[in-house]
Chains A and B, each alone.
Chain A
């Protein structure tokens, strides 16, 4: 079983739609939960991260973590064509643990 599971998509939505991206994981030691955006031929760019369970909002983006279900989500409101990219979830254990475990990434296309 993979440490982190993520539906690779692809996912196509019309401009203005709400996008929901999800990951599940198996390692209960994970405490940091990240979402990265990766454009073609570029490295991942951190969108936001959450420590432990709960929600975090940043503009049109909301990250949710449910540690009891080992399930994390990223919601994008009022999606824009510029949001078209691959979104990767990543996780790591607590202090002193640097190794990030990535999902495969979900390819999102927002159609104008």
Chain B
């Protein structure tokens, strides 16, 4: 199957700093990429949907100025958590989808665990 990578896999930062997470589709072009957040013992929750070359669409309750998403190419999307605070500590997972749009063409990355001290 297709491979989606995320970098870094784990990051620890101080409160108030910004953190950038990269999501790459390694062997296919992803027209759409998604960013999810998973708190302990909770569901994965969609944060935003991004299409290459256009602005991301954010889910209700997700601050677009705090979670900056850039989808610069068909293989790369970045999520920047600006001015991170301890409540932003979570597991962030991206997924990438090919143009066909069926469920078996949405591939998930391994996730990034963010800890804000």
Contact = CB atoms under 8 A, between A and B. Distances in A.
Contacts of A28: none
Given A41-B110, A44-B108, A100 B101 contact: no
Interface of B is mostly: strand
Interface in B96-113: 97, 101-104, 106-111, 113
Interface stretch (B12-20, B37-45, B67-75): B37-45
Closest CB pairs A-B (n = 6)? A43-B108, A49-B103, A102-B43, A102-B44, A43-B110, A44-B108
A23 to B, nearest CB: 11
29 contacts: A2-B43, A4-B43, A34-B103, A36-B108, A41-B9, A42-B110, A42-B111, A43-B6, A43-B93, A43-B95, A43-B108, A43-B109, A43-B110, A46-B103, A46-B107, A49-B102, A49-B104, A88-B44, A96-B101, A98-B49, A98-B97, A98-B101, A98-B106, A99-B49, A100-B46, A102-B43, A102-B44, A104-B41, A104-B42
Interface of B: 4, 6, 9, 32, 34, 41-46, 49, 59, 93, 95, 97, 101-104, 106-111, 113
Interface in A5-35: 8, 32, 34
Contacts of A95: 101
B75 to A, nearest CB: 17
Given A101-B43, A105-B43, 11 more contacts: A8-B41, A41-B110, A43-B6, A44-B108, A46-B104, A49-B102, A98-B32, A98-B34, A98-B97, A99-B46, A100-B46
